[in-house]
Amino acid sequence: MPIRHSIIHTIDKKPDGSPAVLHVSGTELAESQVTENLLHDLNVAYNAKTGKAWGFFHAQSGAFPFSGWLQAYIEGGDFIEFSTTAVEHLTKLMEESNLSVGGQALFAHYQQGLTDYLVVALLQNSEGVTVNPDLSVTLSKHLDFGNISLAARINISEWRSNPKSRQYISYLKGSKGRKATDYFRDFIGCQEGVDGPGETRTLLKAFSDFVTAEDLHEDSAREKTQALVSYSMAQAKIGEPITLDELSELIDEDRPKAFFDFIRNKDYGLSPEIPADKRTLNQFRRFTGRTNGLSISFESHMLGSDIEYDAEAGSLLLRGLPTQLTEQLKRASA
């Protein structure tokens, strides 16, 4: 992961209501294993977070100047100047929002594969205990990636090459309250463009419809479900979107375009690339059982809506039966 530029500034904000004090660094972080480890740990923690939103820049204006500063830097400007201007603006918004949380403001421009990214994160310090060479112990501070709550990652390559994209920015939302999320989102100048959980739910609905339409055997349905969940979770883990044509190939190697064509023909309105929502994916599991000639298999998200379980009676109430099954039942009862 080549790191082009990285720097840390400090915003000292006390909870007593006193004004924030900004400590600006005039030196970039040195290229070292420590810096690489820092960015790696940040990315791992960021990718693991649920509740992300995806969007794109507002038109550049006085209210949303960040994209203009970033563009000037990308086109040959100075990284330290860019980050300094940006962190001064961040501090101003923090004061206007009357928030009491400061921290270490990290700006890092790095490359992953052929893609350029900029990550901006407000990190907190955490205290721990370290053992000294003389076997005494002292308190030590370290960056607490486990509690990261204000961060955004911009896919610079997509922003520059595909300006119509509505999902080249991702940011964390909700964990520190809406007010904190809003001020940080406004700092980046981002507007929400893609509903990640909604898109993921639509994808899973399309998959369920596909399984029904194909009248797949229970084992085959379970195998394809596992392929979908494994691939989607792996993409979420590395912070990459679900690509529909790639997913289609994994679901059915013999007919690699089958699921992709099914989605297109049914017009679910899905984008070719979907930001994977881990929380929604975690809820997508299959319940399966077989006994005395009866075989039942369904996704967990159907429980409580299309399927109701009566624990006392040990029974299931099914709604929305497949047409093929309904016709067979009608013929059998005629």
End-to-end, the C-alpha distance of the chain in Å comes to 67
* DSSP line for 322-333: -HHHHHHHHHHH
Q: What CA–CA distance (Å, rounded) separates 31 from 197?
A: 37
pLDDT at 8: 96
pLDDT at 116: 94
Per-residue tokens: 184: 């940080």
Element (H, E) at 297: strand 294-299
Query: 319 phi and psi, to 5 degrees?
Result: -125, 155
Cβ-contact 263, 206 below 8 angstroms = yes
At position 309, the amino acid (one-letter code) is: Y
Q: 317 forms bridges with which residues in the sheet?
A: 308
Cβ-contact 51, 279 below 8 angstroms = yes
Cβ-contact 307, 317 below 8 angstroms = yes
- Packing angle, helices 218-237 and 244-251, rounded to 10: 140
Domain ranges of the chain: 3-194, 196-302
Cβ-contact 6, 109 below 8 angstroms = yes
pLDDT at 58: 93
Residue-wise burial string across 195-232, b where 16 or more C-beta atoms lie within 10 A, e elsewhere: ebbebbbbbbebbbebbeebebeeeebeebbebbbebb
pLDDT at 178: 65
pLDDT string in tens for the chain (334-residue length): 799 999 999 998 877 677 888 999 999 999 999 999 999 999 989 988 877 888 999 998 888 999 999 999 999 999 999 999 999 999 988 888 776 678 899 999 999 888 999 999 999 888 778 888 888 888 878 788 888 889 999 999 999 998 888 889 999 886 555 677 788 889 999 998 888 888 888 998 899 888 888 877 777 887 888 889 889 988 888 878 889 999 999 988 889 999 999 988 887 878 888 888 888 887 776 677 777 777 787 766 677 667 888 888 888 888 888 788 888 888 888 7
* Whole-Å CA distances, 148 to 42, 190, 195, 237: 9, 19, 22, 16
What order of strands is seen across the sheet that includes strand 52-57? 21-23, 3-12, 103-112, 115-123, 150-155, 169-172, 52-57, 190-194
Q: What CA–CA distance (Å, rounded) separates 110 from 323?
A: 52
Per-residue tokens: 129: 């205990």
Neighbours of 194 (CB within 10 A): 19
Residue-wise burial string across 102-128, b where 16 or more C-beta atoms lie within 10 A, e elsewhere: bbbbbbbbbeeeeebbbbbbbbbeeee
Per-residue tokens: 308: 């109701």
pLDDT at 80: 97
Q: 124: which residues sit within 8 A by CB, 6+ positions away?
A: 101, 103, 104, 143, 144, 147, 148
pLDDT at 84: 97
